[in-house]
Amino acid sequence: MIRLISAAFLAALLLVPAVRAEPADATPPLNPRTIAELSLDDLFAKLRDKAIATSPAGQRIEQEILRRFARSGSPTVDLLMSWATDAMEKKDFPKALDVLDQALMLKPDFAEAWNRRATVYYMMDDYGNSLSDIRATLALQPRHFGAFAGFGMILEAMDRDEEAIRVYRRALEIDPRLDKVRQSLEALEKSTQGSNI
């Protein structure tokens, strides 16, 4: 009887550490506070993790990245960007371009202002100027998945399907949450495979 109790007691002692101990490298849950404390590099690394990307935390990470992209560091430029957004929503493209030009004169290293202006040009079907601004965006922020998505859309509209496929793949490498990009990529891959037969 004593041996049975001792064996049971020993087994219980051996199991306790396995149940209670946490791994030394345990990461905190990805709640809004911990996400806000992560570096941009860490945010992008976590976004590439499929398990995280498809979870609610993935959406919060994506939104945090976009929030950081939108930070100019200048209250004046931030105000101009809000005016540009209003003008874009009203489809007042000349006004949006004028305001974005002013923002870029004040802060030419602000990638999001270039990206926003590229979007306005795209909405005006001015692909040449849009591509030029996308290049400026990506030179300043090489992981700007929105710029890559827009780049792919322009290439697709110009019937440059193979290039669009490469650009869409790059966008999805950075942000696997881009469902519309994934749908466009799949449609293009299917159509180009059919044309190669």
Higher pLDDT, 94 or 20: 94
Average pLDDT, the chain: 86
At 48-82, the pLDDT tens digits run 888 888 888 889 999 999 999 999 999 999 999 99
Q: What per-residue confidence (pLDDT) applies to 108? A: 98
CA 187 vs CA 159, 162, 170: distances in Å? 13, 12, 16
DSSP letter (8 states) at residue 135:
H
φ/ψ of 168, rounded to 5, equals: -60, -40
Segment among 74-78, 82-86, 94-98, 192-196 with least mean pLDDT = 192-196
pLDDT at 196: 54
pTM score of the predicted model? 0.80
| Degrees, nearest 5: CA angle 119-122-127 | 130
